[in-house]
A and B are shown apart, each in its own frame.
Chain A
Amino acid sequence: MKFKTFAAFVGPSVFMMLLFIAAPLVSVFIQSFQVTQPILEQIEVETCTPGFLTQTCTTEIKTVPVLDEAGKTVTATRWVGLQSYRNVLQMDKFWSAVGNGSWNQIMQIDFWKALRFTLSFTLLTLPLVIGVGLAIALAVNNATRSIRGPIIFISLLPFIITPVIGSLSIYWLFVGDGILTAMMERWSGQNISMFAQAWTIELLMYFYRVWHVAPFAFVIFYAGLQTVNMDTLESAVIDGASRWERLRHVIVPHLMPLIIFIALIHLMDCYRVFDEIVGFRSQAHVISLQWLTFDFMTPDDAGNRAMSRASASSMLTMIGIVLLLIMPLRRTWRDHKGSAH
């Protein structure tokens, strides 16, 4: 294919990606070093109230935003260097907390709290998703052919459901005296409230994510299981391998590329955990990095959006993505170079 035809085919797609993905990245990068604020001026205001004999007048100095002819506030954009990053990271508080050796103090700073949750969420759900997905795939592969269709149908439901709605549906089972909380209370004889402390919410979030993603892993592993080499499996049986050994030495190595693929996709998706925070309404207890940026961008009571802090926190989130992708990308690069020579 000539370069010109190739460019005509991929042109629109590349153009959209550059305009709506690459350009915003650059502008976020620039924004994170800037602060846009309304220009304020101090004016002397004399307010008089009618009094007996003479008016009582007080003068005070007020700070008001400058307005232009159209009545809009005039804003100015300044370069502030790393100030926004400092506001997000709050390193002085962080170091003093490290100095005290107090984990709780670090966890009171939003960014570090969000980072801690995002990382533990990503790393804890990964093995669970792969394990559960593999277990379901093996069990379905074991089942009679006629019931496989309905099982796949039911399994797809958690995967396909809107994430916010999915987490809400679990939230409603536990909220207040929802049926599952009531059941646990009956068993344990204590009063349980699942949404009053951080760790129970986190547990529910882990559960939700595994419930939501395991079907994806299952479908992929199930497709992979159809192509396992039967001859290898039979020779393993002849060699006296037990069921467990066959699983470990034949099936899992066969599925290894798929496991890596799922792990990669899962890392990418989990790192931007967001919908759970909305669905479980956990912002008071548990927040994630993406939610932190979202929160900076939502207008506060006065209608202001903290764009520069949002940009800084999203650039910090990006660093995590880069670290996450460096390994797989280096491997792909080596493969590509290897195949070229």
Chain B
Amino acid sequence: MSTPRAMRQSFALRFSSGAFLAFWCLLAAFPIFWIAVMSFKSPVDAFADSAWDVITGPATRANGDGLSIIDIALGVVVLFFAIRWAFTKLPALVRQYCPPGLIVLGWIVGALVYAITFVLIFFGLLPLILGVLNSLLGPLGTPVLGMTTQHYIAVWGENEFYRNFLNSMLVTAGVVTISLTVGTLAGYGLARSGSDLAFWLLILALIFRALPHSVLVAGYLPVFINSSEILAPIFGEGAPTLYGQPWAVIAVLVSINQPFTIWMLRSFFQNIPAELDEAARVDGCSHFQAFRRVIMPVMWPGVITTGLFSFLLGYNDFLVTALLLDAQNQTMVPAIAGYFNRETTTTDQVEAVAAAVSITAPLFLLVMVFQRQIVSGLTAGAVKG
């Protein structure tokens, strides 16, 4: 089918729309790309005022850290094949070796194995081979692009950023599992009940969604700090102090996330025809059995999408975790704020940049893998009202 003549566009319009898109893509990607570049340079280069110096990194190269043309070429080739393999062969392998019921678990294991192999090859094997190649090849083997991983080593090794990483993982994993468990039940109930009460619950959730988080934290803080005294009559001596406990923060974040979760899951459940569970009910299932046996197998797309957004909330949160966790249990995002306070030298600044890139990298992978689910999640709430 060809476009009708009247709908065809003039060259000028097509050109300007294309140019606008190109400009937007540049604008969208540039800051993220740039901090990634900065994090691999020595401080002098990272904060140089000419963009070319930041990219090529003369000072970093002068320190003896750099990549030769061979390094870059081989690295790009390996990266290309690694990514292609992940999208073409990996899904089939996971499906082949995984028992049918546990596909989610299979994916998690598959992704972990893949990530470890990739790190071993890319950062273990490749430098060894390239070291030999560079010394053999002479002019092609001399470094042309300054690049150093020292800031990452400093951040993850000396500053023990992996602790914050593990805390972040604990908090996000808790938030995702609990909010999905609680949320799917509520979302299903709300989608299948047309009562006034369901309507008012949804409106209440909408109001709760609008609340600034600082308002809620102002309510928790005194209670959490004194909780061992407040809870003592119930739990006796062993009453915990909630302040600084990751699981208390998980509970808080799950509740803050609940309004959004139930709205989103409800709109997904409304797309699943009600005839499906009515059929199950006719066959003698109770509501819970219908939910477990009939709805659960078909609800995964919605649950994965909602899970992604819960993940983002837990992972990106600054305010709640900064106020309710103490220094030992700090997650990544508030921990990076710690860099500002002791940010005295430019090395510290580049280390903060490296930490920021480390926080962004998992999100980047997430968009890469789950782009379609994120888009469908964004539109699900809006288009269906």
Does the CB pair A220–B255 fall under 8 Å? no
Label chain B's interface by main secondary structure. helix
Query: Taking each of A17, A151, A158, A274, which has the highest tally of chain B beta carbons within 10 Å of its own beta carbon?
Result: A17
Does the CB pair A157–B323 fall under 8 Å? no
Does the CB pair B25–A155 fall under 8 Å? yes
Known interface pairs A20-B251, A211-B28; A332-B221 also in contact (CB < 8 Å): no
Chain A 104-144 per-residue mask, 1 if CB under 8 angstroms from chain B, else 0: 00000000000000000000000000000001101110110
Within 8 A of B (CB), among A187-203: none
* A36 to B379 CA separation, bound complex (whole angstroms): 47
Q: Is A289 among interface residues, defined by CB-CB distance under 8 A?
A: yes
Q: Is B285 among interface residues, defined by CB-CB distance under 8 A?
A: no
Interface residue tally for chain A (C-beta within 8 Å)? 103
In the complex, residue of chain B having the shortest beta-carbon distance to the beta carbon of A26: B219
Within 8 A of B (CB), among A13-38: 13-14, 16-17, 19-28, 31, 36
The interface residues of chain B lying within 8 Å CB-to-CB of A142 are 9, 14, 17-18
Does the CB pair A136–B219 fall under 8 Å? no
> Which of A40-48, A50-58, A87-95, A167-175 has 4 or more CB atoms under 8 Å from chain B?
A167-175
The interface residues of chain A lying within 8 Å CB-to-CB of B185 are 9-10, 12-13
Does the CB pair B208–A139 fall under 8 Å? no
* A179 to B28 CA separation, bound complex (whole angstroms): 17
The interface residues of chain B lying within 8 Å CB-to-CB of A311 are 218
Does the CB pair B210–A155 fall under 8 Å? no
* A32 to B198 CA separation, bound complex (whole angstroms): 32
Label chain A's interface by main secondary structure. helix
The interface residues of chain B lying within 8 Å CB-to-CB of A307 are 218, 221-222
The interface residues of chain A lying within 8 Å CB-to-CB of B188 are 9
Does the CB pair B360–A164 fall under 8 Å? no
Separation in Å of the B181 CB from the closest CB of chain A?
8
Does the CB pair B219–A164 fall under 8 Å? no
Query: Taking each of B34, B207, B222, B379, which has the highest tally of chain A beta carbons within 10 Å of its own beta carbon?
Result: B222
* A253 to B370 CA separation, bound complex (whole angstroms): 31
Does the CB pair B223–A297 fall under 8 Å? no
* A166 to B357 CA separation, bound complex (whole angstroms): 10
Known interface pairs A20-B251, A274-B319, A314-B212; A140-B21 also in contact (CB < 8 Å): yes
Does the CB pair A20–B379 fall under 8 Å? no
Does the CB pair A289–B35 fall under 8 Å? no
The interface residues of chain B lying within 8 Å CB-to-CB of A281 are 340
Does the CB pair B47–A178 fall under 8 Å? yes
Q: Is A287 among interface residues, defined by CB-CB distance under 8 A?
A: no
Chain B 283-310 per-residue mask, 1 if CB under 8 angstroms from chain A, else 0: 0000110010000000000000000000
Q: In the complex, which of the residues A223, A271, A289, A314 contacts B382, with contact meaning CB atoms closer than 8 Å?
A: A223
Q: Is A268 among interface residues, defined by CB-CB distance under 8 A?
A: yes
The interface residues of chain A lying within 8 Å CB-to-CB of B18 are 139, 142-143
Separation in Å of the A194 CB from the closest CB of chain B?
13
Q: Is B83 among interface residues, defined by CB-CB distance under 8 A?
A: no
Contacts beyond the supplied A31-B222, A142-B17, A154-B25: 20 A-B pairs with Cβ under 8 Å? A1-B195, A6-B198, A9-B291, A13-B183, A16-B254, A19-B255, A135-B20, A152-B375, A156-B374, A160-B367, A165-B336, A165-B356, A181-B49, A211-B28, A261-B382, A268-B210, A290-B212, A294-B323, A314-B214, A321-B211
Can you give 28 contacting A-B residue pairs, CB < 8 Å? A6-B193, A10-B185, A12-B185, A13-B185, A20-B254, A21-B211, A21-B258, A142-B14, A157-B29, A160-B367, A162-B315, A162-B333, A164-B316, A165-B336, A179-B49, A179-B54, A211-B27, A216-B378, A238-B6, A271-B212, A274-B214, A278-B318, A294-B214, A297-B217, A305-B221, A314-B218, A325-B210, A329-B203
Closest 4 CB pairs of A and B: A24-B219, A9-B189, A20-B255, A13-B186
